Amino acid sequence: MIIAGGGVGGLALANVLQHHCEVILLERTEEFKRFGGPIQLASNALQIIQTMDRNVYDQIMEQFTFTGDKTNGIKDGIRDEWYAKFDLGTPAKKRNMPYTGVIDRPELQDIYIKSLAPGILQNGDGVQGYTKTPRGGVTVQCASGKVVEGDVLIGADGIWSNVRSAMRNEPSKGEGSGASYSGYTVFAGELAYPSSDNGEVGYKVYIGPSQYFVITDIGKGNYQWYAFLAKPPGSADTEEKPDGSSMHLQKVFAGWSPDIHHILQATQEHEIQQRDLYDRPPSVLKPWTDETVALLGDSIHAMMPNLGQGGCQAIEDAMVLAQELKSAKLRSEIPAKLDSYRTRRLVRSAAVQGLSRFASDIIIRGFDTPAKIVWDETNGIQFQNFNYAGIVTKLLQPILPIFFSVQFNFLYEGWRNEMAIDVEAGLAFLVIGGTILLLGAGSVGEAGVGLGLGLETLLGSEGLEAILASVRELTSL
């Protein structure tokens, strides 16, 4: 078995399959660099890691910071008050699952690399393409000129996957690759920070007009923040920031919560990075597999980072692939096993992709400071922000906690990926997600946002089609 790419998905797969077959993990980089900041491992991914390798799980726990047991939610960025809280803890507790939390990516990577038998991980071998052999296996060509043969090839080589490019005969990057610029750029900062709510609050998502800001406790007195802005691609290079990124953001978020300004002022320039965000639409019509070759993680379902689920979904892929491949008794069964992997993962990953995109679109383009009536002795009654978006944001306030509950129950309940689709959760999405989208329609100002951001955005066009097909099937029984 050959795995291309030693990211979180490739490492998790190699970790579990090394006990069942000969594994070669080809990683393009010469050595893993210690960069990347923290990664959220949500309850669904943690439950899988615990099931796949208890030893890896225990080591992760030693470095882990829980957020699921803390207060998390959305704050009004201008008024600096809670708008809606989301409960990460109850859906996990109800199912006896570990709480969501964060770990440093390099720590996670180290734990997985150390779990691999010597010789499995081969650094400095970028996969360029593959050809199928007459006996049903694959030959993999590396950039170094090395050629490796195996029964199965898994493309875990990230959003710009060469394995996907070879499978679909399309470019790995740029036009025609299927990955497109999301319309958003993100500034991220990571620093030691004495937050006044340390130990009580996990995530704070500050919403307001046309942008948002996130502050997360990442443990050991450290914090991470993100500023999501709608910008044309390449703004990191084209936009002038003569006083640096921190000052730039302080101006962009002028008038927003003092929390945002405190953390920006405390952040040094070398602690800030900016990157444009790319994702893909769900792949339903395009292949996930090619006989004994399959795609995993970002190579097939790269998504926006808003839900912190991209890596978690790669871990779900790894579990399902391992289960399917372990159950094959004969080489000739492998293509059917890989097809079954796709069937089990397609709709769930599409829904998470859609939700992740939906979260950025609705928060940036749909939300505003909620409308509010205030009274004081000097000015009497005031109607604050009584525009369409402000009223919609206010109307959504009681709906959002229900939506979050549906979302987290869906994410946590489905970790086994036993069914192609969880119809009950899918229908809940249709109802609650549809309401949010319809309300959001006017504030985005696009004709029929129900299609513009749309249910397609929420579930992925083909995820939506799959849900509807399942409902049709059920109702015809």
Ligand X SMILES: Cc1cc2nc3c(=O)[nH]c(=O)nc-3n(C[C@H](O)[C@H](O)[C@H](O)COP(=O)(O)OP(=O)(O)OC[C@H]3O[C@@H](n4cnc5c(N)ncnc54)[C@H](O)[C@@H]3O)c2cc1C
Which residues are at the interface with ligand X (CB under 6 A)? 4-10, 26-29, 39-40, 126-127, 156-158, 162, 186, 188, 297-298, 305, 308-312, 314
* Cβ 185 to ligand X shortest distance, Å: 10
Nearer to ligand X, 299 or 409 (CB): 299
Nearer to ligand X, 2 or 392 (CB): 2
* Cβ 28 to ligand X shortest distance, Å: 4
Nearer to ligand X, 314 or 396 (CB): 314
d(CA 236, CA 304): 18
* Cβ 10 to ligand X shortest distance, Å: 5
* Cβ 25 to ligand X shortest distance, Å: 9
Nearer to ligand X, 306 or 409 (CB): 306
Nearer to ligand X, 89 or 305 (CB): 305
What pairing do the DSSP bridges indicate for beta strands 138-142 and 127-132?
antiparallel
67 in Cβ contact with 202 (< 8 Å)? yes
* Cβ 430 to ligand X shortest distance, Å: 25
Taking CB atoms, the residue at the shortest distance from ligand X is 7
d(CA 345, CA 165): 20
Other Cβ atoms within 10 Å of 12 Cβ, number? 31
Nearer to ligand X, 48 or 455 (CB): 48
Nearer to ligand X, 305 or 390 (CB): 305
Nearer to ligand X, 308 or 370 (CB): 308
* Cβ 202 to ligand X shortest distance, Å: 12
339-372 burial string, b = 16+ CB within 10 Å, else e? bbbbbbbbbbbbbbbbbbbbbbbbbbbbbbbbbe
* Cβ 85 to ligand X shortest distance, Å: 20
Q: Any idea of the CA torsion for 354, 294, 342, 17, to the nearest 10 degrees?
A: -110
* Cβ 302 to ligand X shortest distance, Å: 7
* Cβ 232 to ligand X shortest distance, Å: 18
Nearer to ligand X, 370 or 463 (CB): 463
Largest CA distance in the chain: 85
